């Protein structure tokens, strides 16, 4: 079993990071002192669960977490700074801080460094998350100690539920668009004005015409989807947003 370190201080280490193509050493105190920080640690950059679920959802919920008292959301992995920087760019996860634990010093101090020799990984971090206030661990969510790579409790939704159980979660919004489309520009502007985050897929770059026909039955853009429901184009989106405002009022 892994040690529950709630009530204890985080390990004192120095993270070797790369910023603006230069080495930058960041101490534990620089990350945690005087702050409320959510940390989630995972086995490795670019690995399946970490890339498909763990990082994206924390990145999506980071703004909500910060609205409820969190100063920073930090992702830690036993990878070097170059890999972590490239992974952050590939994930477009700029709402969170990627911290390289290249030598495993932090993970070892947490009692979470485990051998992954069967995968050719060497020593890596076990998957867990924690809420840290002024360097002291208030709450930990540690994945169960069983074979494989369990992912049951260290997710962003579990952390948000602990910090702010009544918090409204952001909508899941995707906009299918086209370069040079004024209606697409209008739709995206309305979403931004409403403070709604969205993912954008661009015709002939991210998808082709048959894709939008398959998912919406239409070939026109923009096509806006919210929480799995097709809203439609810019006019339909305007009507949808107007209804939401009336509902809140």
| Tens digits of residue pLDDT in 117-137 | 988 999 999 999 999 999 999
Task: State whether 18 and 138 are in the same domain.
Answer: yes
Determine the average pLDDT of the residues in 132-156: 96
Q: Is residue 128 part of a domain?
A: yes
Query: Helix, strand, or coil here: 83?
Result: helix
Task: State whether 90 and 187 are in the same domain.
Answer: no
Residue 34 binned pLDDT confidence (cut-offs 50, 70, 90): very high
Q: In terms of residue numbers, what domain contains 138?
A: 14-163
Task: State whether 135 and 18 are in the same domain.
Answer: yes
CATH no. for residue 83?
A: 3.40.30.10
Q: How far apart are CA 126 and CA 42, in angstroms?
A: 6
Q: Which of 50, 75, 181, 184 is catalytic?
A: 50
CA distances from 228 to 98, 123, 174, 232, 245 (A): 30, 39, 9, 12, 20
> Which of 163, 186, 221 marks a domain boundary?
163
Number of structural domains (the chain) is 2
Q: Is 50 a catalytic residue?
A: yes
């Amino acid at each position: 079993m892994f040690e529950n370190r709630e009530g204890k201080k985080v390990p004192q280490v120095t993270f070797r990071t790369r910023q603006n193509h230069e080495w930058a050493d960041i101490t534990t105190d620089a990350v945690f002192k005087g702050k409320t920080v959510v940390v989630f640690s995972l086995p490795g950059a670019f690995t399946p669960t970490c890339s498909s679920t763990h990082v994206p959802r924390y990145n999506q919920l980071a703004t909500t977490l910060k609205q409820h008292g969190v100063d920073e959301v930090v992702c830690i992995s036993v990878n070097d700074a170059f890999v972590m920087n490239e992974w952050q760019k590939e994930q477009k996860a700029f709402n969170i801080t990627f911290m390289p634990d290249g030598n495993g010093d932090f993970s070892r101090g947490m009692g979470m460094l485990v051998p992954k020799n069967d995968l050719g990984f060497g020593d890596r971090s076990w998957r867990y998350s924690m809420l840290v206030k002024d360097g002291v661990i208030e709450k930990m969510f540690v994945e169960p100690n069983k074979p494989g790579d369990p992912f049951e409790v260290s997710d962003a939704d579990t952390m948000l539920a602990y910090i702010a159980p009544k918090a409204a979660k952001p909508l899941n919004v995707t906009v299918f668009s086209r370069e040079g489309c004024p209606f697409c520009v209008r739709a995206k502007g309305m979403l931004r004005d409403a403070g709604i985050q969205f993912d954008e897929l661009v015709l002939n770059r991210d998808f082709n015409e048959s894709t939008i026909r398959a998912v919406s039955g239409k070939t026109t853009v923009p096509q806006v989807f919210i929480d799995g429901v097709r809203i439609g184009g810019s006019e339909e989106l305007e009507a949808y947003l107007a209804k939401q405002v009336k509902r809140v009022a």
